[in-house]
Amino acid sequence: MATWLKAIQPVRTQPRLWVETLWLIESREPLVLTRTIDLHTGLNIVWAKESASNDASGLASAGHGVGKTSLCLLLRYVLGDDAPAIATLRSKAAVSFPKGGVAAKVHVDGAAWLVFRPYGLYSHSLAAQCDGLDRLFDGTAANDFDGYGRALEQFSIGRLAARSLPGTNQPLEWRHLLAWCIREQRTRFDGFYHWREGEGLGFKRSRRDPPLLVGSVLGLVDQALDQLLRDIEAKQKQVDQCKERIPELERAPAFALAHADRQLRLKVRAEEDESVFATTIGESVESRVQAALQKAESDERGWEREVEQADEALAKEQVRLHELTKARDLAKVENEMAKSLVDAKQEDFERLTKVRDRLAGLEGRCDPGNLEFSACEHVQRNKSAVNMTWFQDGKQAKADASLFAARHQASTVALDKAEKAVSDQKKLIAKKRPELHQLRVRIATSETSRTFLKQSWDDLQLKHTQRNQGGDAAELADARKQLLEFESALNSLRAAEVVQRSQQSSRVDALKALTATVSTRLLGAEGHAQFVPGHEVRPFEVARGGEAYQVLEVLLGDIVCLLDSATSDASHHPGFLVHDCPREADMSELLYREFFFAAAEAAEQLGGEGSIAPFQFIVTTTSAPPPALQGARVVALELEPGVEEKLLFRRELQPLLSGFE
């Protein structure tokens, strides 16, 4: 018995995740099974044997097209994956098995689940913690497929120090980890972090995010380190943004100067070849600006004189309007008085007489005599005489009504003339007001344009001075200062990261020691491989070149992580791993044989009572495993091309292409 793992003890008796049985179901009602595949913990080999018949064609004898990759896709399917490659397989299988599907007994963190997933698009997935497919199908056990999905998320991603990726805060999902646990053949095992080909895992950063996920799963990232990584990501983003901004700010003065120069030349109609500043010969931008400013000031002074004249003229017309309005009001009262004489209404006549006196200025205070009109003998004498006349007119009204009618007619004509005079005066004023307003707007517009032109010229002069002096703008100086502060803070955070990682040196040392142990078993000597924490491409390095060793790095890394899950409580790896034909990815026969032996020996050494190993490793292969491992203890399924009974579905899922029957 091999003893190369004798110094390492398992910390659990079974994997956190493993598949005990896989059923390919032809029909649920009645229950008809296409194939039952019993799996076990430890190493499981799915061997696609070459045809034993000498008469088999080259195509049939190659060991391909028998269902190895389909089996891996079905394992992904029962473990919650719904990738496009799985949908393609389902559509093919549904043609042959319209009522069929795949079922599995899956152990998740110590709980056994029975899971069924249909081939067809319109059937429902089922899951329950029960002990028989019949209970799952007849509804005796309540369907809890959503609970099964939550259990997968909780036992895997739920164990991590952080459930999102630093830098993007993208939530981590079980499907991300499952992609690592079940490597597909199409990637040709060409990189440790290359898990899927053409499907896409939804990582926002395809290069940086898988290493962060693996670091978290391996227990290399605790909450403190995760927060540091997030702070570093945020600070790095600030540094990058500041670095992008500084060149723009450095170019900004030249752009601003060119723009200001171009705009000012357009304003003053200066040619491109004219100098900016005044010279003794020819025109310049400066001379054109000064000429434009002087002309604007001269125009504004002329318009201001016109405004003064227009203001004075308008004031005179306003006085004239006031006088005409007063005359019209007096004519109106006199007209009404004449009407009252015609109508012989003495009360109206007396009332209107008072109104007329007030309008005519015969009531109130006499300014020249500095006394009230009522005390002025001249006014009272003339007023009495007028009143006597009006009284006599009143008596005459009874004798000669035609005279009063003629007087009323004359006062009406006088009123109409007064009304027209007021109306004409208002129209004259209404015409003069817009003219005055236009003059004022013209002055304001000119002042604004002149001020803007002066500011543009001052700004252009300042930009030329700054360029000649070579001084940085305040904004650029602030940006450079800010960059230094950001870089200093980033360096401090990175130093803190180094300190934090050094505190986890025991975890790194354990992975390094396990890597050395596994690589010694595979390569036969120490020092040929090492674990490189934090490397974004090759966390497990083999000190040899060539594609075979490139594949070996991937296999070595996966085996180390698988064994680490069984021997360290710090690891969050599920302890479940599937490799689809790594031999076909150009790996040497010798290395491939030792790879099988190492996995089988690890299962034997770490397995407890009842030979239950604390990990499950499923490998599909077209190459024959070593003779010592060809028994039922390790080979879980044998497939063979050209023999329907030994195809995964016991039949071809696709007919032959048209024309090749």
Same domain, 336 and 441: yes
**What whole-number distance in Å separates Cα of residue 567 and Cα of residue 561?**
10
pTM of the model: 0.67
Same domain, 554 and 436: no
> What is residue 33's predicted lDDT score, i.e. its pLDDT?
96
State the Rg of the chain over Cα: 52
Closest to 73 (Cα-Cα) out of 65, 62, 81: 81
> What is residue 554's predicted lDDT score, i.e. its pLDDT?
93
Same domain, 368 and 407: yes
Count up the domains in the chain and report the number: 3
Residue 546 falls inside a structural domain: yes
Residue 88 falls inside a structural domain: yes
CATH of residue 104's domain is 3.40.50.300
pLDDT means per 10 residues, the chain with 661 residues, are: 86 96 95 96 93 56 78 97 94 94 97 97 94 92 97 95 88 95 90 86 88 93 85 91 89 86 90 86 88 92 90 87 86 81 69 70 52 55 46 54 79 86 88 88 92 92 82 82 93 89 84 94 83 91 74 93 96 97 77 92 84 93 92 93 92 60 37
Same domain, 545 and 488: no
Domain around 385: 285-469
Please say which residue of 451, 469, 487 terminates a domain.
469
Beta strands in 65-159 (DSSP E): 101-108, 111-118, 126-128
Same domain, 597 and 465: no
Same domain, 564 and 637: yes
Same domain, 303 and 426: yes
Side-chain-side CA neighbours of 647 within 13 Å: the count stands at 15
Same domain, 477 and 463: no
Residue 573 falls inside a structural domain: yes
Residue 325 falls inside a structural domain: yes
Same domain, 374 and 326: yes
- Buried b / exposed e across 128-150, counting CB within 10 Å, b at 16+? bebeebeebbeeebeebbeebee
Residue 491 falls inside a structural domain: yes
Residue 85 falls inside a structural domain: yes
Same domain, 418 and 481: no
Same domain, 482 and 557: no
Same domain, 619 and 539: yes
**What whole-number distance in Å separates Cα of residue 378 and Cα of residue 366?**
11
> What is residue 313's predicted lDDT score, i.e. its pLDDT?
87
Residue 199 falls inside a structural domain: yes
Residue 659 falls inside a structural domain: no
